[in-house]
Chain A
Amino acid sequence: MKSALKRAGYKQVHKQMNDVHLQFISKVAFFIILLFAFNLFFAGHYTPGGGFVGGLLTSAAIVLLLIAFDVKTLKKMLPIRFRLLIASGLFLALGVPTGLMFFGYPFFTHEFTEITLPILGEIGLHSATPFDLGVFLTVCGSTLLIIILVGGADD
């Protein structure tokens, strides 16, 4: 990130990169964005949102950390292998529609039911959720894999 900006013609990058304000705020904002992203993901079936947006926002949150800190610190904070995220995402996205066949439904016929939990009350359980989780993970994994690789190539 640092030398990326330097290359772009910004000489005073060093100072910017250890910006305490940005680092402090992004630490807080990260969780807020993340919560919002999860909210979007789970609420997607009833209100605007869904796996794709959720995944993008999650990666945006992580990208914020990346801008505030650097790739090395980020790797320490979130020791995730993004390739695995893509793999598991694709597995879910393909596995759920196929898995439904085991229960006698045609490919991609989602099933849903409603259960009542003690505190949360009535909750809809929908097989679209794990499918959407697959989309979420793939989007998140791909974006971050690319950004961190491209951005991390220099420092």
Chain B
Amino acid sequence: MTFIHFAIILPLIAAFLIAIIHKYVKGIHLGWFVLPIPFIIVSYLFTLIPTIRNGDTLLLNLNFMPRIGMNYDVYIDGLGLLFAILISGIGTLVVLYSIGYLSQKEKLLNFYIYLLLFMTAMLGVVLLDNVLMLYLFWELTSISSFLLIAFWTTKERSTYGAQKSMLITMFGGFMMLGGFLLLSNLTGTFSIREMISASDQVTGIGAGTLAVVLVLLGAFTKSAQFPFYVWLPDAMEAPTPVSAYLHSATMVKAGLYLVARFTPVFMLSTTWVWTILIVGLITLCWASFNAFIKDDLKAVLAFSTVSQLGLIMSLLGISGLAVVRGANEQIFTVAVVAAVFHIINHATFKGALFMVTGIIDHQTGTRSIKKLGGLMTIMPITFTMALVTSLSMAGIPPFNGFLSKEMFLEAMFEISNANFSALASVGFLFPLLAIVGSIFTFLYSAKIVMQIFLGEETKETPKEPKEASALLLISPAILSLLVVVFGLFPNLLTKSIIDPAAMSIINAVEPLNTKISHWHGFNSPALWATIVIIVVGAALYYFRDTWIFIYKYIKDKFTINYLYDQGLHYITIYSNRFTRMLMTGFLRTYMVYIFGFLVILGFVTMLRTGLNLDFSNLAPIGIQDMILVGVILIALGIIMITKSRMVSIIMLGAVGFSMALFFVFFRAPDLALTQLAIETVTTTLFLVCFYHLPKQSKLPEKRKFKLTNFIVAVGVGAVSILIGLSAFSNRLFESISQYHIDHVYDLAAGKNMVNVILVDFRGYDTVFETLVFGIAGIGIYVLMRLTINNRKDDKNEERAEESRL
């Protein structure tokens, strides 16, 4: 257990601590207690940079379940470290920002616990070297994102957005798990590193292709690629610090991380390169096209995030070629470096822009672009930050966005010239799409600056606008400063983090020695592309009234959103119908379903495999057994004929206690004890349930004989007896009991085998049983409270006081 292992779960531990702090410390904003956590982690991660810079990687082993190869191994290389620094670094700024953004009246404890949960999840995703652990933490990010989007639970849009993001990303997550399992079957390992080194075993097999498709689905849903992007704009209902953190800087980049990390595996053939490249470019164009028309400032940024993710995705697609073709070719390394550089740049400028949006929302009370205007003079600091970051987003020199955008364009030109695939004839499309996407990026960036900060000052805002407090301004200011610094001195980053990260993506051994420069000479096509983007963009912005009508042709019915909504709507309706068809509300009907299925399954199995009964080893039947069976039979008979509930419950108890006696006779004291205790408790439970049953017994005076029930009942009895007998007669393999008997003392220091199995040998089962028990308890509690509360509201006001638990 080293510090880095600890650092991953540090936020989770802190979540427990702040719950305690929240209870006893009032008056101080809870965020101040959270702030040190990401700060400690990021400071620690910075100390690792010198190691990574030299091209070394760290592999720190910690066994979790070594038997099945699921270990908590931390693997730090350039890529993992880059993401980890982003997560904890932006995390620090976001926590600081949230202190100013969320007032003490909000549910701060929930907010910070979810946020810390997310930090742990995200750090786990990028630092762990095990696909199963990666999946575990991956889903944890989806869950914490869900909780954070639905933070204002009373707003309908929030819950809608939360559900949408959950459904789409969890769908992708499941697919990804399937892909991982296939990959581990093919390569025989769960470790990502070993998978990559064994990636040639995946090549050319159908299962390998399927695995890649499934993992790509996971990456595309998480990183909001076309056509799965629809959840991200709706996720913007979350509080703005969350949008800045999860839905722009970190979580949505998990998909990019996945593609980058598995680049060597993905590159079985160039098909995947084209898939990733084309999906990325479509996402870039479509999302930036949509972003321009949105009125909600956050929606603009959401679509902008989607399009920027598409940009990075397409670059990662090209970088895959580096693996196929060898790392020495210039174009591929340009793409890898551009991807890594843009991940950093996007985190800085988009994070800052989201925070600026939050400031505007906080200070004016609205995010509608139509209602805002002329904020430049009122909020000069915010304006400066918005200007710097928007220009960077639009790709205008000398900011960092310009550098990576230019490298992106360069890579797109190179790939169209490279001429090495069936797609070569349409190669000119790549730079074209890239330029179109960039023009729209320019347009919406211009819109943000021009329509909110310049122009006429509007008086329509719900609140009187004024400059924000320092607390709100610090975080975006730091990020804007980074935008400028990285823009002017990009080579600060190349050696320390970009090169190592790029090297780990393409699995290169030799250092890349990247140099990022602002000026490539007049021969560079990227330069002319940038000029075209700015000129055309400016012209289109100026004449926007003349062409904006094209947005009207996009009908609501043709959007993916419509598809999603309708799909969900009909799924709900039909599953409701299906459920109603089966669920009659009578327990006995359900019993018929369940046991009927068991009978059919049991008999079919027996018919297919044949029965092999062996009576030689059975215990002799003594007089006590007969008496007990007699007691049980009499009790059951009484249950069938009695009309009193009390009598049937007591008789049911009698059956249970007789069973316990059976266990005693067969020398199973643990079982007997448990059975006794369970019988006691369930009989009481039955008694207290009286209240909730109808007053008069609805059973008819004379019960009709029901054939179905009879068949099912007899069938269940026959099947259970036959299964019991045949299980006793045939042993397919050696029983494990001898192992347990032999090792109960030396391995577990216990003498009671049953209990040692429960808490040690098969403790995992016990953990989950305990979980089920707890969940059942809490579930019944919640359901009962709902019924009680409803009843209370309806008629029984006077009971209100007593029914409190």
Contacts and interface: CB of A to CB of B under 8 A. Distances in A.
24 contacts: A4-B690, A8-B690, A10-B646, A45-B756, A46-B752, A49-B752, A50-B754, A51-B759, A57-B677, A63-B680, A66-B684, A67-B684, A72-B802, A93-B767, A101-B72, A112-B749, A128-B748, A128-B763, A138-B777, A145-B778, A146-B777, A150-B692, A152-B802, A153-B692
**Binding site secondary structure of chain B:** helix
Interface in A104-124: 104-108, 110, 112, 124
B669 interface: yes
Contacts of A143: 681, 777
Contact of A56 (B681, B754, B771): B681
B188 interface: no
Contacts of A4: 687-688, 690-691
B689 interface: yes
A53 B673 contact: yes
Interface string A37-77: 00010001111111111001101100100110000100000
A106 B64 contact: yes
Interface stretch (B240-248, B519-527, B781-789): B781-789
Nearest to A131: B759
**Which of B752, B766, B770 has the most chain A CB within a 10 Å cutoff?**
B770
Given A9-B646, A53-B673, A90 B751 contact: no
Interface of A: 1, 3-5, 7-10, 40, 44-53, 56-57, 59-60, 63, 66-67, 72, 82-83, 86-87, 89-90, 93-94, 97, 101-108, 110, 112, 124, 126, 128, 131-132, 134-135, 138-139, 141-143, 145-155
B677 to A, nearest CB: 4
Contacts, number: 197
A84 to B, nearest CB: 12
Contact of B750 (A9, A45, A135, A154): A45
Given A9-B644, A45-B751, A149-B805, A1 B688 contact: yes
Contact of B751 (A3, A46, A101): A46
A155 B778 CA distance: 21
Contacts of A67: 684
The 7 closest A-B pairs by CB, nearest first: A142-B777, A151-B688, A56-B677, A106-B63, A48-B669, A128-B759, A46-B751
Given A40-B673, A128-B759, A146-B685, A60 B752 contact: no
Contacts of A57: 677
A111 B685 CA distance: 38
A71 B756 CA distance: 37
A145 B688 contact: no
A48 B673 contact: yes
Interface residues of B, number: 58
Nearest to B678: A56
A48 B685 contact: no
A147 B681 contact: yes
Contacts of A147: 681, 684-685, 688
B425 interface: no
Contacts of B803: 152-153
Contacts of A124: 749
A56 B66 contact: no
A49 B673 contact: yes
Interface string B61-73: 0111110000010
Contact of A60 (B72, B680, B759): B680
Contacts of A149: 780-781, 784-785, 805
**Binding site secondary structure of chain A:** helix
A155 B64 contact: no
B65 A89 contact: no
B66 A106 contact: yes
B766 A135 contact: yes
Contacts of A72: 802
Contacts of B296: none
Given A8-B646, A46-B752, A86 B65 contact: no
B596 to A, nearest CB: 29
A150 B785 CA distance: 9
Nearest to B785: A149
Interface of B: 1, 62-66, 72, 644-646, 669-670, 673-674, 677-678, 680-681, 684-685, 687-693, 695, 748-752, 754-756, 758-760, 763-764, 766-767, 770-771, 773-774, 776-778, 780-781, 784-785, 788, 802-803, 805
Contact of A153 (B645, B752, B756, B784): B784
Contact of A145 (B64, B781, B788, B802): B781
Nearest to A104: B1
A110 B759 contact: yes
Contacts of B785: 149
Contacts of A102: 1
A103 B685 CA distance: 42
A138 B770 contact: yes
Given A4-B691, A59-B681, A151-B688, A142 B749 contact: no
B749 A3 contact: no
B684 A63 contact: yes
Given A147-B688, A150-B784, A48 B670 contact: yes
Contacts of B774: 86-87, 89-90, 138, 141-142
A69 B781 CA distance: 22
Nearest to B684: A63
A110 B760 CA distance: 7
A90 B673 CA distance: 23
A60 B1 contact: no
Given A48-B752, A143-B777, 6 more contacts: A45-B749, A67-B684, A110-B748, A145-B778, A146-B777, A146-B781
Given A45-B750, A46-B751, A47-B752, A128 B760 contact: yes
Given A48-B673, A56-B677, A56-B681, A7 B695 contact: yes
A97 B784 CA distance: 33
A5 B755 contact: no
A147 B687 CA distance: 10
Contacts of B695: 7
A110 B755 CA distance: 13
Nearest to B766: A135
A43 to B, nearest CB: 8
Contacts of A104: 1, 62
Contact of A52 (B669, B674, B692, B693): B674
Contacts of B802: 72, 152, 155
Nearest to B763: A108
A21 B767 CA distance: 41
Contact of B677 (A9, A44, A53): A53
A40 B751 CA distance: 14
A53 B670 contact: yes
Nearest to B16: A91
A131 B770 CA distance: 11
Contacts of A141: 774, 777
A46 B750 CA distance: 6
Contacts of B685: 146-147, 150
A1 B687 CA distance: 8
Nearest to B783: A149
A154 B796 CA distance: 11
Contacts of A106: 63-66
